[in-house]
Amino acid sequence: MKQNNKKTICVHAGQKQDEYKGINTPIYTSTSYGYLDTEDRFYPRYFNIPNQRVLIEKLAQLEHAENGLIYSSGMAAISTTLLSLLNSGDHIIFQKGLYGGTVNFVFLDFERFGISYTILPDNEPETMIAAIQENTRIIYVETPSNPILSIVDLKMVSDICKSRNIISVIDNTFASPFNQNPIDFGIDIVLHSATKYISGHSDISAGAVLSSNEMIDRIHETSLNFGGTLNALMCHLLERSLKTLAVRLTQHNENAQVLADWLDANSKIKKVYFPGLKSHPGHEIARNQMMGFGGMLTFDIGGIDSFQFQKNLQLIKPSMSLGGVESTICSPALTSHRHLSDEQRKLDGITDNMLRLSVGIEEVDDLIRDLEQALG
């Protein structure tokens, strides 16, 4: 049978049949399961209860992965994955300009675990190759990146890693499985903060890792000890959310493109960061490796008071997270990247007047009117 379209996978993949013929997967709330007369040992911390497995099967099909694990947050997925694959004495390379939580984790914890790292000054292939050491085990990227939406060539990263027996890891949160499938370009491990687009309704905290069976088996061993699992009810709600991923992201993509074009043409806006703009330095790469440019954009409002601008908004909500059906806006310097030093934010190109806009699924003309009146 021909591979199903993503819209169909979102709705049907992984669903477990209800014995009473209900069309939704039942919620298995038990934290204790029988073990006599069976080889199976079901337990929420083992990442194998029915609602966890149903959710992972759907996500794995969407990401073209063999298997996966679901966690209680995106940072649980990131930290558990990296600490599963790195040992004392190992080295890891990070691209320039990552999510602030990831960078903060590296700064706070890697040294005490004896793990060395390099954060690249730019994302050019020559720079990446030059940073590789004899003990380099992982190259970690994030594209589009948070918050300036820089684009990294996934095939380039994969080729570099495979030629040197290095594991490639990507945070695919901003793109979502609907807009980008890094495994198709040879990337080994895909991470998500499922709190964002996979949830889509600003009401669930979760994370996911998708990869080959071999990689997931390695990560699973450490995951058992770290215990960052997700309960059955939250898995059920995420499965429900994934059923509308395709229709939500289609609208996110369309609205973000319209707003990016409008902001880019507005003389009051200093700069717009969005891979769907032809002026974006990574536009052609993004066009080749993404099915849509996503619902995230960032803009610098120059001399305008960014704090007052956010207060002036009536429809768009100043809020710290992203990926929900409602449009939200935040200052990365005060939220996602607040733990970084002023110097580090400057190196990453993050200014105090930079605002990250998570474009929702509202009528786009209403969003334009709101931005227009807030600008004054």
Tens of pLDDT, residues 143-198: 999 999 999 999 999 999 999 999 999 999 999 999 999 999 999 999 999 999 99
The CATH code of the domain that includes 210 is 3.40.640.10
Residue 73 in tokens: 């947050």
C-alpha distances out from residue 152 to 81, 181, 200, 345, 357, Å: 21, 13, 25, 19, 21
Q: Do 235 and 270 fall within a single domain?
A: no
Tens of pLDDT, residues 17-32: 888 888 999 999 999 9
CB neighbour list of residue 191: distance below 8 Å, 6 or more residues apart: 74, 77, 78, 81, 169, 170, 171, 172, 173, 207, 208, 209, 210
Domain annotation covers residue 1:
no
Per-residue model confidence (pLDDT) at position 182:
98
Residue 132 in tokens: 């590789």
Q: Do 73 and 166 fall within a single domain?
A: yes
Only one residue has tokens 């954009």, namely 297
Domain annotation covers residue 367:
yes
Domain annotation covers residue 138:
yes
Residue 68 near residue 201, CB atoms below 8 Å: no
Q: Do 253 and 219 fall within a single domain?
A: no
CB neighbour list of residue 38: distance below 8 Å, 6 or more residues apart: none
* Whether residue 338 has pLDDT greater than 80: no
Whole-structure pTM value:
0.95
What is residue 144's DSSP assignment? S
Mean pLDDT, range 226-252, rounded to an integer = 97
Q: Do 337 and 367 fall within a single domain?
A: yes
The arrangement of strands across the sheet holding 167-171 comes to 67-71, 207-211, 189-193, 167-171, 136-142, 91-94, 116-119
User: d(Cα 248, Cα 299) in Å, to the nearest integer?
Assistant: 23
User: d(Cα 273, Cα 255) in Å, to the nearest integer?
Assistant: 15
Residue 310 near residue 331, CB atoms below 8 Å: yes
Q: Do 102 and 250 fall within a single domain?
A: no
Q: Do 237 and 262 fall within a single domain?
A: no
Q: Do 72 and 19 fall within a single domain?
A: yes
Residue 13 in tokens: 């993949």
User: d(Cα 141, Cα 119) in Å, to the nearest integer?
Assistant: 10
Catalytic residue positions?
45, 99, 171, 196
Q: Do 204 and 251 fall within a single domain?
A: no
CA nearest 91: which of 164, 146, 142, 145?
Answer: 164
Q: Do 13 and 156 fall within a single domain?
A: yes
Buried b (16+ CB within 10 A) or exposed e, 159-189: ebbeeeebbbbbbbbbbbbbbbbbbebebbb
Supply the range of the domain harboring residue 70: 6-242
Residue 247 in tokens: 């229709």
What is residue 34's DSSP assignment? -
Domain final residue pick, 220, 242, 264: 242
Q: Do 111 and 170 fall within a single domain?
A: yes
C-alpha distances out from residue 350 to 76, 321, 323, 335, Å: 25, 17, 20, 12
Q: Do 201 and 273 fall within a single domain?
A: no
Only one residue has tokens 């954060």, namely 119
* Whether residue 335 has pLDDT greater than 80: no
Domain final residue pick, 211, 242, 273: 242
* Whether residue 255 has pLDDT greater than 60: yes
Residue 249 in tokens: 């992201």
User: Beta partners for 272?
Assistant: 299
Per-residue model confidence (pLDDT) at position 341:
74
Per-residue model confidence (pLDDT) at position 3:
67
Residue type, 270: K
Mean pLDDT, range 288-308, rounded to an integer = 95
Per-residue model confidence (pLDDT) at position 344:
76
* Whether residue 311 has pLDDT greater than 90: yes
Residue 31 near residue 39, CB atoms below 8 Å: no
User: Considering its fold, how many domains does the chain have in total?
Assistant: 2
User: Beta partners for 207?
Assistant: 71, 193
Q: Residue 4: which pLDDT band, with cuts at 50, 70 and 90?
A: confident
Q: Residue 2: which pLDDT band, with cuts at 50, 70 and 90?
A: low
Residue 47 near residue 223, CB atoms below 8 Å: yes
Per-residue model confidence (pLDDT) at position 1:
40
Q: Do 18 and 116 fall within a single domain?
A: yes
The CATH code of the domain that includes 253 is 3.90.1150.10
